[in-house]
């Protein structure tokens, strides 16, 4: 096997699934996580966990000591409204921290870098599905902090022997189908997480943020991708970067189709056999009406195909994890 992969943020939601995908593919994995929002228990014990900030100057020694072939960089701050109220936190944790990590990678000669970017780099797209070459005009500091990192990657890859994949995630949801990890973040704000919290009695209702969008039923439309498919895309991206070291990639990660908020809640009702209480509310600041990936580039570039493009399946896996999380919390209290 050719080399160890370093996963930053590997104790978090998407990072922990990438760790599983890498281990399942037979890779050696070192996780770097400061455990501020992540959980040590979310890291598969087959991986080595180092509790450290990604900007720590000791990072280049760590990269050298483990002969790291690629960095998958998930660590960062991800709450859009918080990025509006505390922008410098986002420019610190996302942009500046990645600058420091890139400096360590360059110093250690790390050849490949895979970056968690976001559809928020597009802002409010002029058209959907939105493609990688379309204008990137972020409408919040979160999207801008990630777009600035994409710019650094481009420039660093031009100047140093490193190639990269910037993966622009659409709406990530669901959980490991084997029940090994899931979305465990405290105070999560994402629709499917909120809905399964309501389904398991942790909330009384689900707010529907905006019913007057120019969409088929007036609610926001998003491209929901199963977290395990997204994790698999990272493994495929690494293989591609290693196979063709002179090329870098910026790729949308989505299925190319959208569901409205009401369609998602219908799926949750179907899967749970419940009728969740829906509270119609006004729009959330900065929410675009519709965000759907043009995914032709990733399909053409990576040996990757969606395997879990099924909204009910995504909800089922998210729900199963939410129940496990409930058991875990009960166990800890009892
Ligand atoms: N949404 C909602 N109620 C919630 C959370 C989200 O109606 O409790 C809507 C939100 O306005 C958007 C969609 O669900 O149209 C997806 O939002 P989410 O926060 O999951 O992801 P985002 O697209 O903002 O990254």
Q: What is the pLDDT of residues 109-158, one digit of tens each?
A: 999 999 999 999 999 999 999 999 999 999 999 999 999 999 999 999 99
Q: Closest ligand 1 atom, CA of 284?
A: 11
Residue 141: closest CA among 188, 105, 96: 96
Answer yes or no: is 133 within a domain. yes
CATH assignment of the domain containing 98:
3.40.50.720
299 inside domain: no
Q: Which pLDDT score, from 0 to 100, does residue 3 have?
A: 86
**Measured from the CA of 209, which atom of ligand 1 is nearest?**
7
Q: What is the pTM (predicted TM-score) of this model?
A: 0.97
Q: Do 66 and 154 reside in the same domain of the chain?
A: yes
Q: Is 17 found in the same domain as 117?
A: yes
204 within 8 A of 198, measured Cβ to Cβ = yes
Could you tell me if the CB of 218 is within 6 A of ligand 1?
no
Residues 246 and 319 in one domain: no
* Domains held by the chain: number: 2
Query: CATH number, domain at 276?
Result: 3.90.25.10
Q: Which domain holds residue 153?
A: 4-174+226-253
Residue stretches of the chain with pLDDT short of 70: 1, 334
154 shares its domain with 12: yes
- Nearest residue by C-alpha to atom 11 in ligand 1: 209
Identify whether 301 is part of a domain.
Answer: no
Q: What's the chain look like in SS3? A: CCCEEEEECCCCHHHHHHHHHHHHCCCEEEEEECCCCCCHHHCCCCCEEEECCCCCCCHHHHHHHCCEEEEEECCCCCCHHHHHHCHHHHHHHHHHHHHHHHHHHHHHCCCEEEEEEEHHHHCCCCCCCECCCCCCCCCCHHHHHHHHHHHHHHHHHHHCCCEEEEEEECEEECCCCCCCCCCCCCCCCCHHHHHHHHHCCCCCCEEEECCCCCCCCCCCEECEEEHHHHHHHHHHHHHHHHHCCCCCEEEEECCCCCEEHHHHHHHHHHHHCCCCCEEEECCCCCCCCEECECCHHHHHHCCCCCCCCCHHHHHHHHHHHHHHHHHHHHHHHC
Same domain, 270 and 162: no
Residue nearest to atom 25 of ligand 1 (CA): 171
> What is the atom index within ligand 1 of the atom nearest the CA of 206?
8
Instruction: State the CB neighbour count (10 A cutoff) for residue 236.
Output: 20
CB distance 193 to ligand 1 below 6 Å: no
Q: Identify whether 38 is part of a domain.
A: yes
Dist CA 1 CA 225 (whole Å): 29
- What is the C-alpha separation between 168 and 164, in angstroms, rounded? 13
Same structural domain for residues 249 and 105?
yes
CA of 76 to the centre of ligand 1 (A): 20
Q: Which of 13, 142, 169, 255 is catalytic?
A: 142
Q: Which of 130, 168, 205, 209 to mutate to test the pocket of ligand 1 (most atoms within 8 A of CB)?
A: 209
Q: Report whether 68 contacts 27 (CB < 8 A).
A: no
> How far is it, in rounded angstroms, from Cα 202 to Cα 323?
11
Pair (73, 134) in one structural domain: yes
Clarify whether residues 198 and 137 are in a common domain.
Answer: no
Give residue 286's pLDDT: 77
Rounded CA Rg of the chain = 19
pLDDT of residue 334: 58
Residue 204 lies in a domain: yes
Say yes or no: 106 and 213 in one domain: no
Judging by beta carbons within 10 Å of its beta carbon (0-12, 13-18, 19+), is residue 324 exposed, middle or buried?
middle
Q: How far apart are CA 227 and CA 176, in angstroms?
A: 7
Nearest-angstrom CA–CA distance, 135 and 245: 27
- Which residue has a Cα nearest atom 24 of ligand 1? 287
Q: How many residues in the chain? A: 334
Q: Is residue 184 part of a domain?
A: no
Q: Is residue 298 part of a domain?
A: no
pLDDT at 285: 80
Evaluate whether residue 179 is within a structural domain. no
Atom nearest to 291 CA in ligand 1: 23
**In the beta sheet, which residues pair with residue 226?**
173
Could you tell me if 101 and 141 lie in one domain? yes
Distance CA 168, CA 251 (A): 6
290: tokens are: 């519709």
Do 149 and 41 share a domain, yes or no? yes
* Ligand 1 center to 234 CA (angstroms): 24
Structure confidence at residue 187 (pLDDT): 87
Report the alpha-carbon distance of residue 248 to residue 150 in Å, rounded.
11
Instruction: Please confirm, yes or no, whether 142 is among the known catalytic residues.
Output: yes
Whether the CB-CB separation of 231 and 308 falls below 8 Å is answered with no
Question: Do 41 and 170 fall into the same domain?
Answer: yes
282 CB under 6 A from ligand 1?
A: no
Ligand 1 centroid from CA 320, angstroms: 21
Distance 104 CA to ligand 1 centre (A): 36
Rounded-to-integer distance, Cα 7 and Cα 32, Å: 6
């Amino acid at each position: 096997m050719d080399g160890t992969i370093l996963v930053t943020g590997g104790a978090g939601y998407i990072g922990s699934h990438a760790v599983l995908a890498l281990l399942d593919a037979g890779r050696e994995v070192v996780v770097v996580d400061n455990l501020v929002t992540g959980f040590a228990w979310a890291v598969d014990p087959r991986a080595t966990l180092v509790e450290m900030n990604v900007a720590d100057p000791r990072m280049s020694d760590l990269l050298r000591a483990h002969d790291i072939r690629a960095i998958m960089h998930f660590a960062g701050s991800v709450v859009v409204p918080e990025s509006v109220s505390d922008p410098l936190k986002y420019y610190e944790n996302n942009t500046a921290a990645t600058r420091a990590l890139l400096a360590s990678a360059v110093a250690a000669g790390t050849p490949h870098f895979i970056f968690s970017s976001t559809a928020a780099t597009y802002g409010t797209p002029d058209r959907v599905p939105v493609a990688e070459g379309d204008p990137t005009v972020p409408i919040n500091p979160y999207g801008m902090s990630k777009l600035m990192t994409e710019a650094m990657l481009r420039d660093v890859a031009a100047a140093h022997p490193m190639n990269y994949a910037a993966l622009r995630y659409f709406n990530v949801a669901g959980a490991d189908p084997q029940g090994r990890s899931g979305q465990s973040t405290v105070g999560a704000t994402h629709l499917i997480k909120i809905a399964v919290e309501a389904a398991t009695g942790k909330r009384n209702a689900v707010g529907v943020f905006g019913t007057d969008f120019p969409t088929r039923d007036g609610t926001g439309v998003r491209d929901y991708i199963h977290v395990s498919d997204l994790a698999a895309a990272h493994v495929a991206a690494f293989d591609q970067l290693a196979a063709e070291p002179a090329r870098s990639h910026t790729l949308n990660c989505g299925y190319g189709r959208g569901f409205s908020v009401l369609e998602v809640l219908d799926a949750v009702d179907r899967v749970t056999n419940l009728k969740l209480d829906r509270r119609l509310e006004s729009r959330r600041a900065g929410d675009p009406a519709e965000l759907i990936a043009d995914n032709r580039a990733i399909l053409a570039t990576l040996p990757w195909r969606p395997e879990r493009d099924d909204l009910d399946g995504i909800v089922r896996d998210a729900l199963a994890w939410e129940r496990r999380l409930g058991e875990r919390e009960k166990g800890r209290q009892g």
